[in-house]
């Protein structure tokens, strides 16, 4: 029931995409209407599906600099 936004986590990731890394939202959340990857020329980001069990695994394995978030950051 969820989608996870994932960047490549390297120096080439756009600053505007970094806050979206490890963002988990329901697959029908309106945020995906405008942010589903690839979103922009040469965007290397991806999204993948997960469930509650997968979400818990992501939370346990998330790097400290990219914790799992379940609320989208403010859009400018």
From first to last of the 76 residues of the chain, give the pLDDT tens digit. Answer: 999 999 999 999 999 999 999 999 999 999 999 999 999 999 999 999 999 999 999 999 988 877 999 999 887 6
Cβ atoms 18, 63 nearer than 8 A: no
Element containing residue 27 per DSSP (H, E): none
pLDDT in the model for residue 47 = 98
Q: Where are the alpha helices (DSSP H) in the chain?
A: 32-35, 52-61
| CA nearest to 45, candidates 13, 70, 73, 72 | 13
pLDDT in the model for residue 40 = 92
pLDDT in the model for residue 27 = 98
36/18 Cα distance (integer angstroms): 14
pLDDT in the model for residue 76 = 60
């Amino acid at each position: 029931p969820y989608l996870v936004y994932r960047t490549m986590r390297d120096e080439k990731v756009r600053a505007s995409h970094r806050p979206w890394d490890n963002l988990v939202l329901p697959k029908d959340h309106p945020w995906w209407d405008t942010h589903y990857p690839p979103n922009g020329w040469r965007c290397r980001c991806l999204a993948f599906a997960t469930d509650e069990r997968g979400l818990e695994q992501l939370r346990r394995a998330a790097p400290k600099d990219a914790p799992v978030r379940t609320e989208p950051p403010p859009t400018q």
